[in-house]
């Protein structure tokens, strides 16, 4: 009899188990979210290797773990229903506010109010400084009477992919995993129901929209675009406070343990630790004008928050995927901007140095030299944190900036010189002054901004060579730098262009600026006479000390730039990268897709402000503009909308961030550096050795004009 019952029990168990597996694998296609973030955060500690981002739609977006190049979440939000006639999502059915309770702490509060006036949800975010857990303190307020039920909607995209996740429940905790990374979502008010399904087919939101309740409960969804939903107990449908813990680990058990321990610690205790970590660091920074202090502190913390905690010194360009809502998340190969560019990292490192955190700048240089640099001395266009190249081109300014940074940080020891400085400088001499790509990563040729970096890098390297008694290298690098400085205008300044009698071009393909050679722009921007395309990259010549701010050619070229690519917005003047730029939203408002219309770049306002400092002018209009161009979370982005009209007035307003990348680490660095420069009335990142060299040359040859004859024979 027992032998007869056993097969029946096995069959019943298996039938029940299979019934609990979600149907509809793998679900609809996964995408990332918009690059327009209202906030980013992490603890200022090494005990928590977790970073979070908050989107403009009032929800949690990408969460990065265990490094800043691994995104694991698409979205987390609340869903509210009356159980019989309506369902509302925070992202779609509420008005959104973002608040910064304390500008000395990188913590943010989202306030979402039902457009129908039914409820308000307030969410405050921190990470537990001791473990890999995001804590969300939630306050749910009823604004109208009547029954409601509250649910958590969680869309994991584990290990940089949204299409290969597995989701399941262990007790009252939702677990998702993929490729050695797992998440665990738990609540201080334990979930009464949990379900894991496939996006758009069998996920809990599909059920709620159809039935206004969770009627189809699935214990597991495997290898697909998994969405998880948890039902809060009835107590959460009244005015109530509770905490969500979204934790991570190499496997589900570890993630669950992290979530439970963080919930046991409690939000208030964790916040005290979290706040202290940030306030202690803020206290070490240089002070700036009180008018800019809040923005300065937030921008500085955002810079620090982009530094990885495993690959120390590696700073991601941005914790975003540009136009991610239109980017497939089916494979873990999408790098977005959560990669490392040597140029961006140089900008950030000089900002750290400027505000008083030399240790952070040193870590950045260590990363550049010890992880990114190639055996031939060059640096990849960009890379994953472990140094694996992502895109495959070469940008000569990225080979040059680490040399400038090495000199400024006093990295003149024999090992640094032999292993890092000398190979890079030799590579520049061998392969410059042209570059396969300039700083906008698009065109090959002679670029004023790239050549400025090469010249400054070689002079800094030459001084390091001298200190290491390598006079041959010193002389070769100095001679090359001076030769290129003397030929710079012949390569990049037109005397036959349509805008003025002389002005710098964005670049020339073959060093013949008066030839009228046709230039085909990237991103389907069109084909134009080289003499028509201008940018403000020549300002690097001033910032790096190669040309004086009062150089008539610099001033004349600035007039051209202002006439061609400046836009006066309600926030102040902002510039395009160059005219006919195609890297930006399409005209119908859809995200960039191999073509578009380049919008206004915020960091260019800061570059112009630094020029104002160098020329003895007032930089405050540019600081004011940058501060106004930040969003309500004080995030400074890459691009802002460039016109009064918009294909979608709810998404695009002139001077407000687009879907490209907010915050952008480079822009944050530009603001804090300008704030310090305005206070000190000098550019903190200008290498004095370069400025002195060319100042002495101009003194020796007062009538030489822009070109300076300093070649050593």
**What single string gives the DSSP state of each residue in 362-379?**
HHHHHHIIIII--TTS--
Greatest pairwise CA separation for the chain in angstroms:
111
Which residues have C-beta within 8 Å of that of residue 616, sequence separation ≥ 6? Answer: 549
Q: Which domains does the chain have, with CATH numbers?
A: 19-279 (2.70.98.10), 288-324+336-700 (1.50.10.10)
Catalytic hit among 325, 441, 517, 679: 441
Residue with tokens 């509210």: 80
- The whole-angstrom separation of Cα 89 and Cα 373 is 47
**Residue 6: predicted pLDDT:** 33
Residue with tokens 């495959």: 392
Beta strands per DSSP E along 479-550: 493-494, 503-504, 518-521, 526-529
Q: Tell me the β-bridge partners of 328.
A: 31
CB contact burial 412-439 (16+ within 10 A = b; e otherwise): beeebbeebbbbbbbbbbebbbbbebbb
Q: Tell me the per-residue pLDDT of 681-710, one tens digit each, with 9 for 90 and over.
A: 999 999 999 999 999 988 876 554 454 544
- The whole-angstrom separation of Cα 255 and Cα 488 is 57
**Residue 237: predicted pLDDT:** 66
- In the chain, what is the straight-line distance between the N-terminal and C-terminal CA atoms, in Å? 105
Whether the Cβ atoms of residue 629 and residue 600 lie closer than 8 Å to each other: no
- Under DSSP, is residue 494 helix (H, G, I), strand (E, B) or coil? strand
Which residues have C-beta within 8 Å of that of residue 283, sequence separation ≥ 6? Answer: none
Query: Residue 438 catalytic?
Result: yes
Q: Using alpha carbons, list the distances in angstroms from residue 248 to 155, 254, 490, 650.
A: 14, 7, 57, 35
**Residue among 477, 468, 349, 458 nearest 403 (CA):** 458
Catalytic hit among 57, 90, 438, 530: 438
**Residue 17: predicted pLDDT:** 40
- The whole-angstrom separation of Cα 61 and Cα 10 is 42
Rg (CA), the chain: 27
Phi, psi of 142 (to 5 degrees): -80, 130
Query: Residue 92 catalytic?
Result: no
- The whole-angstrom separation of Cα 107 and Cα 632 is 13
**Residue 648: predicted pLDDT:** 75
- Tell me which residues of the chain have a pLDDT lower than 70: 1-19, 235-237, 649-650, 701-713
Phi, psi of 276 (to 5 degrees): -60, -40
**Residue 239: predicted pLDDT:** 87
266 prior amide bond cis, ω within 30 = no
Phi, psi of 55 (to 5 degrees): -90, 170
Using a 10 angstrom Cβ sphere, with 0-12 exposed, 13-18 middle and 19 or more buried, the burial of residue 454 is buried
Which residues have C-beta within 8 Å of that of residue 605, sequence separation ≥ 6? Answer: 572, 573, 574, 575, 622, 625, 626, 629
Using a 10 angstrom Cβ sphere, with 0-12 exposed, 13-18 middle and 19 or more buried, the burial of residue 601 is buried
Whether the Cβ atoms of residue 340 and residue 382 lie closer than 8 Å to each other: yes
What pTM did the predictor assign? 0.94
Tokens of 542: 């001033």
**Residue among 511, 700, 542 nearest 616 (CA):** 542
**Residue 150: predicted pLDDT:** 97
3-state helix, strand, coil in the chain (%, to 5): 35, 20, 40
Q: Tell me the β-bridge partners of 572.
A: 569
Listed in sequence order, the DSSP H helices in 230-341 are: 252-265, 267-282, 293-305
DSSP letter (8 states) at residue 630: S
- The whole-angstrom separation of Cα 462 and Cα 468 is 10
Cα–Cα–Cα angle for 690, 696, 697, nearest 5°? 90
**Residue 3: predicted pLDDT:** 35
- Under DSSP, is residue 571 helix (H, G, I), strand (E, B) or coil? coil
CB contact burial 209-242 (16+ within 10 A = b; e otherwise): eeebbbebbbbbbbebbbbbbbbbbeebbeebeb
């Amino acid at each position: 009899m027992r032998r007869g019952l056993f097969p029946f029990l096995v069959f019943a168990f298996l039938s029940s188990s299979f019934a609990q597996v979600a149907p509809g694998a793998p679900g609809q296609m996964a995408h990332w979210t918009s690059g327009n973030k209202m906030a980013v955060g992490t603890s200022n500690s090494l005990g928590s290797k977790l970073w979070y981002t908050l989107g403009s739609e009032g929800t949690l977006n990408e969460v990065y773990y265990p490094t800043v190049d691994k995104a694991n979440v698409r979205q987390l939000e609340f869903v509210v229903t009356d159980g019989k006639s309506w369902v509302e999502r925070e992202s779609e059915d509420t008005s959104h506010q973002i608040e910064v309770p304390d500008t000395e702490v990188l913590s943010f509060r989202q306030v979402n109010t039902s457009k129908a006036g039914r409820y308000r949800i307030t969410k405050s975010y921190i990470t537990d400084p001791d473990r890999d857990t995001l804590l969300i303190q939630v306050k749910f307020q009823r604004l109208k009477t009547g029954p409601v039920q509250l649910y958590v909607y969680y869309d994991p995209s584990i290990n940089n992919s949204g299409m290969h996740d597995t989701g399941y429940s262990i007790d009252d905790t939702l677990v998702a995993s993929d490729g050695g990374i797992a998440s665990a979502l738990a609540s201080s008010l334990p979930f009464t129901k949990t379900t894991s399904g496939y996006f758009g087919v069998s996920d809990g939101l599909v059920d709620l929209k159809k039935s206004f309740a969770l009627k189809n409960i699935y214990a597991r969804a495997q290898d697909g675009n998994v969405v998880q939903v948890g039902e809060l107990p009835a107590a959460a449908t009244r005015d109530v406070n509770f905490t969500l813990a979204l934790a991570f680990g190499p496997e589900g058990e570890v993630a669950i343990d992290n979530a439970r321990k963080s919930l046991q610690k409690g939000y208030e205790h964790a916040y005290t630790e979290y706040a202290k970590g940030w306030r202690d660091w803020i206290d070490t920074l240089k002070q700036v004008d009180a008018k800019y202090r809040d923005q300065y502190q937030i921008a500085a913390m955002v810079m620090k928050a982009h530094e990885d905690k495993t690959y120390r010194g590696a700073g991601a360009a941005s914790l975003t995927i540009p136009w991610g809502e239109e980017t497939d998340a089916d494979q873990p190969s999408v790098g977005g901007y959560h990669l490392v560019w040597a140029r961006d990292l140089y900008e950030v490192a000089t900002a750290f140095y400027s505000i008083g955190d030399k240790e952070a700048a040193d870590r950045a240089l260590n990363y550049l030299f010890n992880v990114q640099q190639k055996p031939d001395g060059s640096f990849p266009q960009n890379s994953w944190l472990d140094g694996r190249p992502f895109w495959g081109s070469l940008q000569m300014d990225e080979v040059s900036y680490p040399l400038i940074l090495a000199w400024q940080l006093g990295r003149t020891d024999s090992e640094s010189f032999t292993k890092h400085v000398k190979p890079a400088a030799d590579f520049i001499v061998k392969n410059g002054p042209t570059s396969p790509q300039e700083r906008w990563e698009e065109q090959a040729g002679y670029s004023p901004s790239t050549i400025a970096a090469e010249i400054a890098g070689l002079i800094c390297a030459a001084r390091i060579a001298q200190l290491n008694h390598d006079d041959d290298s010193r002389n070769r690098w100095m001679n090359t730098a001076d030769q290129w400085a003397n030929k710079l205008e012949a390569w990049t300044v037109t005397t036959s262009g349509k805008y003025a009698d002389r002005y710098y071009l964005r670049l020339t393909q073959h060093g013949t600026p008066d030839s009228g050679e046709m230039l085909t722009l990237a991103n389907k921007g069109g084909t134009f006479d080289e003499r028509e395309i201008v940018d403000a990259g020549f300002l690097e010549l001033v910032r790096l000390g190669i040309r004086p701010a009062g150089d008539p050619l610099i001033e004349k070229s600035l007039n051209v730039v202002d006439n061609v690519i400046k836009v006066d917005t309600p926030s102040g003047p902002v510039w395009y990268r160059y005219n006919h730029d195609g890297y930006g939203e399409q005209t119908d408002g859809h995200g960039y897709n191999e073509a578009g219309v380049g919008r206004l770049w915020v960091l260019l306002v800061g570059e112009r402000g630094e020029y104002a400092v160098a020329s003895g002018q007032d930089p405050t209009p540019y600081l004011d503009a940058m501060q106004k161009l930040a969003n309500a979370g004080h995030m400074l982005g890459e691009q802002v909308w460039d016109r009064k009209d918009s294909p979608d007035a709810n998404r695009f307003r002139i001077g407000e961030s687009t879907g490209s990348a907010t915050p952008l680490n480079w822009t944050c660095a530009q603001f804090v550096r300008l704030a310090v420069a305005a206070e000190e009335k000098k550019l903190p990142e200008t290498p004095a050795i370069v400025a002195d060299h060319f100042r002495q040359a101009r003194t020796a040859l007062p009538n030489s004009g822009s070109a300076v004859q300093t070649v050593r024979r």
